[in-house]
Structure 1
Amino acid sequence: MRILFFMAALWASLVSATPQQFLVFGDMPYTPIDETLLSAPKGRLYQAVQQTPHLFVAHVGDLKSGSQPCTDTLLQKNYSLLSELTTSPLVYTPGDNDWTDCDRAALEPRFDELERLAYIRTHFAQSELDLPNYHRQKDQLENQAWRIDDVKYLTLHVVGTNNGRAQVLKSEPQEALSAAQSRDKYNMHWLASQLKARVSAAVIFIQADIYKANNYGEPCTQELQQNCDALAPYRQHLDALAEQVAFPILLVHGDTAEFCFSQRESGLWHLNAPGDFRVLDIAKVRVQDSQKEPFLVSTVTQPLAKPGVIPQCTK
């Protein structure tokens, strides 16, 4: 009872406090080393999370390495490991390793990627998280939103491998393309609907590194749906949005090894979260009422740092 009272008091103090603080990472666990770091009770990252106040932990996709087959057992095991990392809510948005890339020729067994997407939605996109004003998108359950005081948080299902339009090796190609178009439509509707209300800041979580150079061609449009850059519309839309609104927006993603944080010319703040072999850490993000520094980023193993201490994104 005393522990429950303490946790309730801690939550109340965090929710009402300014600034707000959350943790985020992705692309883990990939290896037994990752699993050890994240495991209770002695894992270094597990212990650091316990010692770091946070409202929630966000995982921006890729529960497993792309070289591992996407079996039910592995996905469930790794999701459980992440869930046990914190007593605060765990927010998860799918990554390409979790479903899109499950049909790779080198994997055994291989899976139809749309079947794996259905599995992800059934097993990891059903629960209602204990976050203020939390809800899921009715037509795309993995898209989530919540609001803590006047800060809006949301996830968008945007993944690597050209957002599910490339390397379709076991699903029926036209079916996969149609599914990608539907995800884009629901994503844009979700983004527009969630940022209608007046807020002081917004944080958007996706998996794909939309700034990574690619050779997919011209941006995808309503008329051009194949052999095109499916991530370009998100780059364009988010930059335009950052220029239009009166509040700061932070885009957080995983997918690539670079750990960086900076502000784009449009005003959009950009964080490539730790993970993916090279930076075995978890980012600590503080949202504060400051026009100059609305977001402060460090990691759970390092002191809070101002922009410029974390490497700047070069994209």
Structure 2
Amino acid sequence: MPKFLCHWLYALAAALLCALLSSGRLVAAEHEVFQFALMGDAPYGSLAVMSVNALIDDINAQPELLWVVHAGDIKQGSSPCSDELLKSRLDLFQQFHRPFVLTPGDNEWTDCHRQSAGGYAPLERLEFLRQLFFPRVGYTLGREPMAVESQARSQAFSEFRENVRWVHHNVVFATLHVVGSRNGGESFMGRTTADNKAAARRSEAALVWLRETFALARERDYAGVFLVMQADPFFELSPGGYQRRPFEPVLQALEEETLRFGKAVLFAHGDSHKYRYDQPLRDRTTGKTIPNFWRVETQGGFVTAWLRVRVDPNSTQVFHVEQGARAGQDTPTRGGSN
């Protein structure tokens, strides 16, 4: 082929590429709008299991929902932490057709020392929970498991198979094992040094995973970051108070990393059983609301409901949340800022 023709073809290809990029067509093809389901604190009791079955049918009937995220607490704190009950919850959630992502809650292991829950050793229940709900490192649950990155692949934190991360259409998602009951720090009869050391190590692992997720988002210029953990970190309380103190390291890391990232962050949690979709994170230096940070709390408890999260990587806010139908409800309602 003559050299002048080669140069002409290269110039034409470059011009076409520039035209596609400027028109946004290539960006649109790479960063499509997608949706997933978010739930938490469910099921609470045998009646709620029936409602969750209906919820599963509802979600399974909507193929646009790519996966389901559960923010933890798969049982009441006062119900038995028996092998049988936990296995029944696994069987229930395995009915989801799409990938099912779970981050543990305090009810399924931390609070199992309660007599009403069976008087178990929490760390023993945690080990059982990990083996049961995270049997394949690097894969989710659900009938169609999804490959994910697991913190267990790290030699430094090899036991934390429950902390996972994945990327979809220029948005990064991560789970953090941070639980209620003062992040597993509440005293109880029979608490040992091993319990204290395990709580400190789990907190360290979560912080490392959080900061690594933001570092990845900055390095690869992702459009947004989604994080989920079970505990309510009490944004609204004064720093240093009894309830908020165990979560100060997470809150400080969220503040620092969100400000540094500068793009959309959606932080999901459960625990308090009240739906909230707001902007509670403040810059400690200025006292002003950090505008690129949004919090969504799942409802749960004795109300069985799920949330639809719509992700548009091409928009500034990226994440848009609306309430899905509750059991017995047909019409979804849109959620907004409080």
Report TM bin, short chain.
Answer: 0.7 to 0.9
Instruction: Please show how residues 1-315 of structure 1 align to structure 2 within 5 Å.
Output: 18-39=32-53, 43=54, 45-52=55-62, 53-84=64-95, 86-105=96-115, 107=116, 109-127=118-136, 128-129=139-140, 130-131=145-146, 134-138=148-152, 139=157, 140-172=160-192, 174-197=193-216, 198=220, 199-211=222-234, 218=240, 229-264=245-280, 265-266=289-290, 267-277=292-302, 279-289=303-313, 291-301=315-325, 309-310=334-335, 312-313=337-338
Superposition misfits of 4+ residues, deviation over 6 angstroms: 212-215, 302-305
Cα distance in 2, alignment partners of residues 243 and 254 from structure 1: 24
How far the C-alpha of 1:159 sits from its partner, in A, is 0.0
Q: What SS does structure 2 have at the residue aligned with 1:270?
A: strand
Cα distance in 1, alignment partners of residues 93 and 249 from structure 2: 31
How far the C-alpha of 1:214 sits from its partner, in A, is 7.3
Cα distance in 2, alignment partners of residues 228 and 209 from structure 1: 9
Cα distance in 1, alignment partners of residues 278 and 38 from structure 2: 16
State TM-score, norm by structure 1: 0.81
Cα distance in 1, alignment partners of residues 30 and 272 from structure 2: 34
- CA 1:276–1:164 in structure 2 vs 1: closer, same or farther (change >3 Å)? same
How far the C-alpha of 1:170 sits from its partner, in A, is 3.2
Cα distance in 2, alignment partners of residues 80 and 271 from structure 1: 27
Give 2:184's aligned amino acid. G
Give 2:319's aligned amino acid. F
- CA 1:119–1:213 in structure 2 vs 1: closer, same or farther (change >3 Å)? farther
1:104-136 deviations in Å (ceiling 9; x for gaps)? 14x15210111111111121123223435x121
How far the C-alpha of 1:168 sits from its partner, in A, is 3.2
- CA 1:233–1:303 in structure 2 vs 1: closer, same or farther (change >3 Å)? farther
Q: What SS does structure 1 have at the residue aligned with 2:131?
A: helix
Residues 290-299 or 156-165, more deviating: 290-299
Cα distance in 2, alignment partners of residues 121 and 94 from structure 1: 9
What is the root-mean-square deviation in Å for CA atoms of aligned residues? 2.5
Percent pairwise identity: 28
Quote the residue 2:17 is aligned against: none
User: Structure 2: which 5+ residue stretches go unaligned?
Assistant: 1-28, 281-288
Give 2:294's aligned amino acid. W
Q: What SS does structure 2 have at the residue aligned with 1:289?
A: coil
Quote the residue 2:5 is aligned against: none
1:227-259 deviations in Å (ceiling 9; x for gaps)? 982112212221222111132111111111110
Contact 2:170 2:313 in 1 (8 A): no
How far the C-alpha of 1:292 sits from its partner, in A, is 4.7
Cα distance in 2, alignment partners of residues 158 and 88 from structure 1: 25
1:256-293 deviations in Å (ceiling 9; x for gaps)? 1110111231231100012111x321111011135553
How far the C-alpha of 1:169 sits from its partner, in A, is 2.9
Cα distance in 1, alignment partners of residues 131 and 248 from structure 2: 29
- CA 1:56–1:194 in structure 2 vs 1: closer, same or farther (change >3 Å)? same
Contact 1:135 1:144 in 2 (8 A): yes
Name the structure with the higher helix share. Answer: 2
- CA 1:312–1:104 in structure 2 vs 1: closer, same or farther (change >3 Å)? farther
Contact 2:112 2:119 in 1 (8 A): yes
Cα distance in 1, alignment partners of residues 320 and 128 from structure 2: 36
State TM-score, norm by structure 2: 0.76
Cα distance in 2, alignment partners of residues 131 and 16 from structure 1: 20
- CA 1:203–1:303 in structure 2 vs 1: closer, same or farther (change >3 Å)? farther
Cα distance in 2, alignment partners of residues 142 and 116 from structure 1: 14
